[in-house]
Copies of this chain bind each other. A is one copy, B any other.
Amino acid sequence: MDVVRATYEIETALPLEATVATIAGEQSTGTFVAVRGETERLTARHAATVESIDELPPSGRPPLPGASGDWSVARRARVRIAFPLHNFGASLPNLLAAVAGNLFELREVGALRLIDLDLPMAFADAYPGPGFGVQGTRKLVGRESGPLIGTIVKPSIGLSADELAALVREIVEAGIDFIKDDELQGSAPCLPLAERVRAVMSVLKPYADRTGRMPMYAFNITDDISRLAANHDLVLEAGGSCVMVCVNLVGLAGVHYLRERSELPIHGHRAMFGAFSRSPQLGIGFTAFQKLARLAGVDHLHTNGIANKFYESDEQVLASIEAVRRPFLGGYHILPVLSSGQSAGLAHATYAATGTEDLLVLAGGGIHGHPHGSAAGVRSMREAWAAAIEGESLDARAARVPELAAAIDKFGRR
């Protein structure tokens, strides 16, 4: 019998084993009173089963609201529960009903977090996942090795089409690999997608004609589901090579819907991820989330980078990058996207910690805010990464490359 194994961290003031049994019951055959029809046959075929309970030290945090029991005796544990696949089938939305569903609302727990999911191959049969992945993206970009260096259009809101074109021109002339719209820039009436596509492609196409290489521009096509296909087609027909969606805003199901219709790589932004992940007591952790996003079909997924401006520690970021790079169901190779507060001075530390060149490193302010302009910002990133990969120290390279020295001076280093 195929099963889905879900790993949770929970904390409870009630008897631990009974609480874990409640969780398994709530999400399979249980209800709050014994009801007729709930026979042994049914339980044997359909009940979720508790596979392990590994106790952890109590968190010391006050419980989430509504938790039952005397919290001074709370116990915390990592638990693993197996759910029969035939209860819900290889369907991402219905998988979530089983492994997440109402669990977060149980008063039996004062903390409950979905940490990881082990999925049977039936999900690989149902979900093709990334259509391009690491190698497909490299091929489209025309960069076989080294990290892909990218940037975000900033300011994210308010540029005219001409200003956007001028900005893109400056950056592509500096040899960038990748540019993305901001997550705020989906359907802005102040610069609609069709106009962005026209403005950007009016720069990229002549550049590609001249150089034989077209930087990838991820157009943010996030919108109502009914517009996703048309938005995608707009980009495709204009000769664009990537679309971006905010995974949590169109939903995992929305990403999969796009994937079924997409002929371009899908750049997955994780906006709103923090809403269900920043609390250590609640929600869904990145390790579980990224598997769902890969199944849904993203080719790139945001992980943040080290020394980012958001809340995540370097340790968390590095764990996220590692999770995204780990093969899953025999493949689903996608590019982790390192962003937020990234700049040239982080290249050596990032390379040392991740040990890979298969990264998409985005610097927004770290490129546009470079004291010598965006082109110098791109060069600082490229040189820093080349040095890191070649084994040359940041200082040594900076002594030879003034754009790098200026970047370190302005944005710092690790």
Using a CB–CB distance below 8 Å, which chain A residues touch chain B? Answer: 27-38, 42-43, 45-46, 61-62, 64-67, 85-89, 91-94, 96-98, 100-107, 154-159, 163, 167, 183-184, 186-190, 222-226, 246, 248-254, 256-257, 260, 271-276, 278-284, 309-313, 341, 364-365, 368-369, 373, 410-411
With contacts A37-B159, A64-B278, A311-B67 taken as known, whether A93 is within 8 angstroms of B250 at the C-beta atoms is: yes
Docked-complex contact B42 and A223, CB < 8 angstroms: no
Contacts of A102 in B (CB 8 A): 183, 271-272, 274, 310
Docked-complex contact B279 and A186, CB < 8 angstroms: no
CB < 8 Å neighbour of A155 from B42, B97, B254, B281: B42
Docked-complex contact A65 and B224, CB < 8 angstroms: no
With contacts A100-B271, A272-B100 taken as known, whether A224 is within 8 angstroms of B31 at the C-beta atoms is: no
A76 to chain B, nearest CB (A): 15
Known: A89-B188, A102-B274, A279-B281. 20 other contacts (CB 8 A): A32-B364, A33-B411, A34-B369, A35-B154, A37-B159, A61-B62, A65-B278, A65-B280, A91-B224, A94-B186, A97-B249, A97-B271, A101-B183, A101-B246, A104-B275, A106-B310, A107-B311, A225-B257, A250-B251, A254-B254
A280 (CB) vs chain B CBs: closest residue: B65
Count identical subunits in the complex.
2
A92 (CB) vs chain B CBs: closest residue: B224
Contacts of A67 in B (CB 8 A): 311
CB < 8 Å neighbour of A251 from B42, B186, B252: B252
With contacts A31-B364, A183-B101 taken as known, whether A282 is within 8 angstroms of B275 at the C-beta atoms is: yes
Contacts of A30 in B (CB 8 A): 155
With contacts A31-B156, A105-B278 taken as known, whether A256 is within 8 angstroms of B46 at the C-beta atoms is: no
Contacts of A154 in B (CB 8 A): 31, 35, 37
The residue in A85, A101, A159, A222 that gathers the most chain B C-beta atoms within 10 A of its C-beta is A101
- How far is A188 from B94 in the complex, measured between Cα atoms in Å? 8
With contacts A184-B27, A184-B97 taken as known, whether A282 is within 8 angstroms of B271 at the C-beta atoms is: no
Docked-complex contact A104 and B274, CB < 8 angstroms: yes
A373 to chain B, nearest CB (A): 8
Docked-complex contact A225 and B65, CB < 8 angstroms: no
Docked-complex contact A96 and B225, CB < 8 angstroms: no
With contacts A157-B29, A250-B251, A276-B275 taken as known, whether A257 is within 8 angstroms of B224 at the C-beta atoms is: yes
Contacts of A100 in B (CB 8 A): 271-272, 275
- How far is A58 from B130 in the complex, measured between Cα atoms in Å? 45
Docked-complex contact A275 and B271, CB < 8 angstroms: no
Q: What are 22 A-B pairs at a CB distance below 8 A?
A: A28-B156, A28-B157, A28-B184, A29-B156, A32-B309, A35-B368, A42-B157, A64-B311, A66-B278, A93-B223, A94-B188, A94-B223, A102-B310, A104-B273, A105-B278, A105-B312, A106-B310, A224-B256, A250-B253, A251-B252, A275-B283, A275-B284
A192 (CB) vs chain B CBs: closest residue: B89
- How far is A21 from B89 in the complex, measured between Cα atoms in Å? 46
Contacts of A37 in B (CB 8 A): 154-155, 159, 163, 167, 368
Contacts of A66 in B (CB 8 A): 278, 310-313
Contacts of A224 in B (CB 8 A): 91-93, 253, 256-257
Docked-complex contact A274 and B103, CB < 8 angstroms: yes
Docked-complex contact A87 and B184, CB < 8 angstroms: yes
Docked-complex contact B183 and A97, CB < 8 angstroms: yes
- How far is A155 from B85 in the complex, measured between Cα atoms in Å? 17
A186 to chain B, nearest CB (A): 4
Docked-complex contact B96 and A155, CB < 8 angstroms: no
Contacts of A85 in B (CB 8 A): 189
- How far is A15 from B376 in the complex, measured between Cα atoms in Å? 34
CB < 8 Å neighbour of A222 from B94, B254, B368: B94
Contacts of A256 in B (CB 8 A): 224-226
- How far is A36 from B88 in the complex, measured between Cα atoms in Å? 52
